[in-house]
Structure 1
Amino acid sequence: MNLLLLEESDFVSDARVVISGRRLSHVTDIHQASIGDTLRVGRVNGLMGAGVIQVLDTHQMVLDVTLTETPPVSLPLTVLLSLPRPKMLKRSLQTMTAMGVKRIVLMNSYRVEKSFWQSPWLAENKLREQLVLGLEQARDTLLPEVVFEKRFKPFVEDRLPAMLQGKRGLVAHPGDSGRYCPRQLTEEIVLAIGPEGGFIPYEVEKLEACGFERIHLGSRILRVENAIPVLISKLFD
C-alpha cells in the first residue's frame, strides 16, 4: 500500500479521519507505524496529501489529514477487455487501474466462457476492491468506470461507434497480421483486447468495420494479464 485511500465514510470532520479493518492492519503490520508518523493519504476521487497519526490502537487509527495535491494524470485510454477468467480479471483490473486507465469495458466474445459472467467477482463491491488495490499501488485516487457489455454484436454495431468518435481504435490481435504496436501516442485511444488466443476472425472484422486498426506484439502469444501492461507501456511509453 503506497497510498492510504480514504473513503467518504472515514471522515469525521474536514481534516480528521478514523480508519479500521484491512487498512489499519496494513499500517500496523506492514508499515509498523506509530503515533506521530506521517502517511501518504488520498481521498477517493479527490485530492492527495499527508496524514499524521494521532491515535493508534488495535481497533482504530485517527489521523489529521491535509489534502492539497492533485492525483496523477490519467491515460487517454479506454480498454475493451474480453472478460477473462476470474483470477486473471482481478490481476488485470489492478494492473489497468495502477497504470492510469479510467474507463474499462468488460465485453463478451466467442471465446469467453458463459460461466465467467456468473462469477461473484463481477459484483460491484468485488470489482471495487480490485480497483482500490490498483489505486493504492500507484498513488492515485480516481476510480475507473467499469462497464459490462454482454452481447458482442449489438455493442460493436450500436454503441461502440459513438464511443470511438474522435478517438483512434486499436484491436490487439496475436500473430503477425496488422502493424506492430505503435508507440508514444498522445491521442485518445480505444484499445480492444481479446481473450486467450485472441478474437475470432469475425470479431476482428466487425471491429475493423467499426474503424479499428489491427495491431500485434509479434509472434509470441502472451497471457491477457501480461499483454495488458505491455500494450499500455508501448502505446504511451
Structure 2
Amino acid sequence: MNLALLFDDDFIAPDRVRLTGRRYGHLTTVLKAAIGDRVTVGKANGLIGEGCITHLDHHNAELQVVLDRPPPPPLPLSLVLAMPRPKMLRRVLQTCAALGVKDIWLINAYKVEKSFWQTPWLSEASLQENLTLGLEQARDTWMPTVQIRKLFKPFVEDELPALLAKRPGLVAHPGTETPCPTHSNTPATLCIGPEGGFTHYEVDKLESAGAKPVHLGPRILRVETAVPVLVSRLFDLAGF
C-alpha cells in the first residue's frame, strides 16, 4: 500500500480521517507506524496528500490529512476485455487500475465459460476492492469504471462504434499481419480476447465496427500478461 485511499465514510472532520480494517492493519503490521508518523493518502476521485497519525489504538488509527496535489493523469484508453477466469480477474483489475486505465468493459465471447459470470468477484464491492488495491499500489486516486456486457453481438454492434469514434480501436489477435504500434500515446480502444482468443467471427465483427487487428509476435500470452504488455507498448507510461 503506497497510498491509503480515503472514502467519504472515513472522514470524521474535513481534515481528519479514521482508518480501520485492512488499511489500519497495513499501518500497524507492515509499516509499524506510530503516532506522529506521516503516510501518503489520497481521496477517492480527488487529491493526494499526506496524513499525520494523531491517534492509534488496537482498533483504528486517526490521521490529520492535507490533500494538495492531483493524482497522475489517466491513460486515454478504453479497455474492452473478454471476461477472464475469475481467479485471474482480480489480478487484471488491479493491474489496470495501477497502469491508469479508467474505462474498462468486460464482455462476453464464445470461449468465455458461462460460469465465469457467476463469480462473486463481479459484485460492486469486490470490483471496488480490487480497483482500490491497484490505485493504492500506483499512488492514484481516480477510480476506474467497469461496464459489464454479457452479450457480445449487441455490444459490438450498438455500443462499440461510439467508443471507436472517440478512441480508435485495436483488437489484439495472434496471427494478424500488423504488429501492435509502440508509444503512440494517442487515445485508443483496445480489445483483448479470452484465453484461447476471439473466434474468427468475433474478430470480423470487431473489424466491422472499426477495430484494427494487431499482434505481439508469435508468442501466445495469458490475459494477465497481455494486458500490461499491450498497454505499456501503446503508451509511454512515464508521461502519464
Deviation at 1:126, TM superposition (A): 0.7
SS where residue 32 of structure 2 aligns?
A: coil
Q: Deviations over 1:159-194 (max 9, x none)?
A: 11112113210000123x131110111221000000
Q: Deviations over 1:129-156 (max 9, x none)?
A: 1000000000000000000011000110
Deviation at 1:34, TM superposition (A): 0.4
Residue 187 (structure 1) aligned with residue 186 (structure 2) = yes
Cross-structure match for 2:205: 206
179-188 or 148-157: which moved more? 179-188
SS where residue 166 of structure 2 aligns?
A: coil
Letter in 1 for 2:191: A
Cross-structure match for 2:29: 29
Return the alpha-carbon distance in structure 2 between the equivalents of residues 13 and 54 of structure 1: 13
Q: Is this contact kept in 2: 1:90–1:130, CA < 8 A?
A: yes
SS where residue 165 of structure 1 aligns?
A: helix
Structure 1 stretches of at least 4 aligned residues deviating more than 4 Å after TM superposition: none
Cross-structure match for 2:57: 57
Q: Deviations over 1:98-134 (max 9, x none)?
A: 0000000000000000000111111110111100000
Which consecutive residues of structure 1, in runs of 5 or more, have no partner in the other structure? none
Q: Counterparts in 2 of 1:32-111, with a 5 A limit? A: 32-111=32-111
Q: Is this contact kept in 1: 2:77–2:167, CA < 8 A?
A: no
Q: Is this contact kept in 2: 1:174–1:197, CA < 8 A?
A: no
Return the alpha-carbon distance in structure 2 between the equivalents of residues 168 and 5 of structure 1: 32
Q: Is this contact kept in 2: 1:80–1:190, CA < 8 A?
A: yes
166-175 or 105-114: which moved more? 166-175
Letter in 2 for 1:95: T
SS where residue 31 of structure 2 aligns?
A: coil
Return the alpha-carbon distance in structure 1 between the equivalents of residues 144 and 69 of structure 2: 19
Cross-structure match for 1:115: 115
Return the alpha-carbon distance in structure 1 between the equivalents of residues 11 and 184 of structure 2: 39
Cross-structure match for 2:229: 230
Deviation at 1:27, TM superposition (A): 0.6
Cross-structure match for 1:15: 15
Which consecutive residues of structure 2, in runs of 5 or more, have no partner in the other structure? none
Residue 197 (structure 1) aligned with residue 196 (structure 2) = yes
Return the alpha-carbon distance in structure 2 between the equivalents of residues 17 and 157 of structure 1: 46
Cross-structure match for 2:152: 152
Cross-structure match for 1:163: 163
Deviation at 1:197, TM superposition (A): 1.9
Return the alpha-carbon distance in structure 2 between the equivalents of residues 96 and 21 of structure 1: 24
Return the alpha-carbon distance in structure 2 between the equivalents of residues 154 and 105 of structure 1: 14
SS where residue 214 of structure 1 aligns?
A: strand
Q: What is the count of residue pairs matched by the alignment?
A: 236
Cross-structure match for 1:124: 124
SS where residue 24 of structure 1 aligns?
A: helix
Deviation at 1:39, TM superposition (A): 0.4
Between the two proteins, what is the percent identity of the paired residues?
57
Letter in 2 for 1:124: E
Letter in 2 for 1:219: P
SS where residue 129 of structure 1 aligns?
A: helix
